[in-house]
Chain A
């Protein structure tokens, strides 16, 4: 097995770990973190595919590489927006939780 294959396995495991954290952790901030983990795992698998396409003196296929750059930027934009939403929720509700039992408190603060 060459290095790229190991990186591919690492990416596959990261997607699983990230999904687990995203589904089980109730803290929204940790969900954002876990979702970034899923994203980076998927990018890594894409990078391994790019590496496989190495040809004509290039270390990898530049098309997937360019797409991953775009993907990282879009993921960052989404993360920044998610964090801003989280901070606003905290400001309004006094706590940042996705626990539905507390949604009454949030409504009371609004009116």
Chain B
């Protein structure tokens, strides 16, 4: 057994242990903190699976943004005290057996690989040069499966609409009720002053380099959102009310531009979401930049939650 295999087995064991902790821990807050660690370890596993783009997304979204939302929820919601009905012991045993069977079935499936392994990697690489991109994953996201990517951005905006519509009537059009911790000259304030300039540069880099190397609009947008939320939580700047025109404009500009380019494809390249010859790379870069802005704003507002205070 080589060292790297031992590392991978240890990693898999650790992830399973922490994953189980998030389910079996008594304290909800401890479970959520475990979930953040779980997400970061999962990101390492994605690197080991040679999927660096996925690892970046998992670390930023799966662990970071989800963890932030869950921690915020744990802090607000008191756990239902006492009268929570737990499934009785026989019920738990039966559930455990059934879940175990599902796991066993999936395990058997992963232990018996198909005889002929089908892969689309050669097809992707063959046609990648036409798109002018160097990162095959970006190629799939923006060329071959562009429809998925477009719909994914729309889903994020829809989720935000869903969250906003949960606002009480009096707060509609108001300011999201993100908790702000104003403690002058604390570590948080210092971090919120020092990190955003660096973070914004990192976000621009990730967005730009995404065409060639792992990275891209989503990862860049997530970093932007994190910087925005950091500065807001530290009380250095206020969140906008949700009826601001610029906010709504930035939210939809990315998906709208993507859709417009897609529709233009009907005329210029004979198919929806097709790019005209020779213009693929510049168009994709324009779409990526606008998507990074939209995603940054959307993730930031998703993190901030529904409006709770009416306008100043």
Contact = CB atoms under 8 A, between A and B. Distances in A.
B16 A20 contact: no
Interface string A14-36: 11111111011111011011101
B122 to A, nearest CB: 5
A33 B140 CA distance: 30
B16 A10 contact: yes
B12 A2 contact: no
A77 B137 contact: no
Given A12-B103, A12-B110, A72-B54, A53 B159 contact: no
B218 to A, nearest CB: 6
Contacts of B76: 87, 90
B145 A53 contact: no
Contact of B49 (A34, A50, A63, A101): A50
Contacts of B84: 26-27, 97, 99
Contacts of B195: none
Interface in A75-106: 75-81, 83-88, 90-91, 95-97, 99, 101-102
Given A10-B12, A69-B218, A21 B119 contact: no
Nearest to B87: A24
Interface in A31-72: 32-34, 36-37, 40-41, 43-45, 47-48, 50-63, 65-70, 72
Tell me if A's interface is mostly helix, strand, loop or mixed. Answer: helix
Interface in B69-115: 69-70, 72-74, 76-80, 83-87, 91-92, 95-96, 99-100, 102-107, 109-111, 113
Contacts of A26: 80, 84-87
Given A59-B50, A88-B306, A37 B110 contact: no
Interface in B144-194: 144-145, 148-149, 152, 155-156, 158-159, 162-163, 166, 168
Contacts of A36: 35, 62, 66
Chain A, interface residues (CB within 8 Å), range? 35 or more
Nearest to B295: A73
A19 B102 contact: yes
B110 A34 contact: no
B116 to A, nearest CB: 11
Interface in B12-38: 12-13, 15-16, 19-20, 22-24, 28, 31-32, 35, 38
Contacts of A44: 42, 45
Contact of B12 (A6, A67, A74): A6
Contacts of B306: 84, 87-88
Contacts of B236: none
Given A30-B31, A36-B62, 20 more contacts: A2-B5, A3-B4, A13-B16, A17-B20, A17-B23, A51-B50, A53-B119, A58-B124, A58-B136, A62-B137, A65-B51, A70-B148, A72-B54, A74-B152, A74-B155, A78-B159, A80-B66, A80-B163, A81-B163, A86-B73
Q: Which 3 A-B pairs have the closest CB atoms?
A: A59-B50, A16-B103, A8-B110
27 contacts: A6-B8, A8-B107, A16-B102, A25-B23, A27-B79, A29-B77, A33-B32, A33-B35, A44-B45, A48-B49, A48-B110, A51-B51, A53-B118, A60-B49, A60-B121, A62-B139, A63-B121, A67-B148, A69-B53, A73-B156, A73-B218, A77-B155, A77-B156, A80-B302, A84-B166, A86-B73, A87-B305
